[in-house]
Amino acid sequence: MKTVLEVKDLSFGYSPEKLLYKDFSLSLSQGEIKAVVGASGSGKSTLFELILTNLKPLKGTLQASRVSQVFQDPYTSFHPSYNVINQMRDVASLEGLDTYLEEMGLERDLLEKRPHELSGGQLQRCSIVRALLMKPELLLLDEPTSALDNVIQLDVMKLLIKHLDKTAMLLITHELDLAHWCADEIIEIGI
């Protein structure tokens, strides 16, 4: 399988005296899910920022294939003043949209609304649809199901797993049961 993420000997800290990562390595191949777990402030989201090149490591290398991300809070990942469909169209082709909407249990007319007109669960499922429309080789998932009730959580994770033939997933979660259920490997950060 194709390697879509390679992190080698990464060191990073917001101050040189306190490193979040020291000589950290990680590899992820198409078809794999790895879960990142750790306490708040341990550096889980910082790892995503490094992968997205929003932060620069002190040392080491990161190589990632085409990436898309699902954030924990969907309201911060959508612009409040224009509708959801246009925000999807801004970043991706809408090819496959109707299939994804059906899989997520969403009506197409919801996409004509602005983000604040949707529930947190509806908007998070829209966020997942947008990420999948981007055809990522690597999907970064930051607590993607925390805004969803338990039944929908399971359905959404099953849907995401269905797409592993085209992508790999790095999942941040506080839910160890979820990590054990879906991940090929659990990476403990700051523990």
pLDDT in tens, 13-39: 998 788 999 999 999 999 999 999 988
> How many C-beta atoms lie closer than 10 Å to residue 52's C-beta?
13
Residue 147 confidence class, pLDDT cut points 50, 70, 90 = low
CB-CB contact of 11 with 22 (8 Å) = yes
The partner residues of 184 in beta bridges, in order of sequence, read: none
Q: What tens digit of pLDDT does each residue of 125-136 get? A: 999 999 999 999
Residues 6+ apart with CB under 8 A from 44: 36, 37, 38, 142, 172, 189
Residues 6+ apart with CB under 8 A from 61: 6, 7, 8, 9, 10
Read off the pTM. Answer: 0.91
The CATH classification number of 3-188 equals 3.40.50.300
Tokens of 184: 């090929």
- Which helix H or strand E contains 176, and what residues bound it? helix 176-182
Q: What tens digit of pLDDT does each residue of 149-181 get? A: 777 788 888 888 988 988 999 999 888 888 999
- Rounded distance between C-alpha atoms, residue 127 and residue 68, angstroms: 10
Residue 191 confidence class, pLDDT cut points 50, 70, 90 = low
Residues 6+ apart with CB under 8 A from 150: none
- Rounded distance between C-alpha atoms, residue 141 and residue 144, angstroms: 6
Break the chain into its structural domains and give their ranges: 3-188
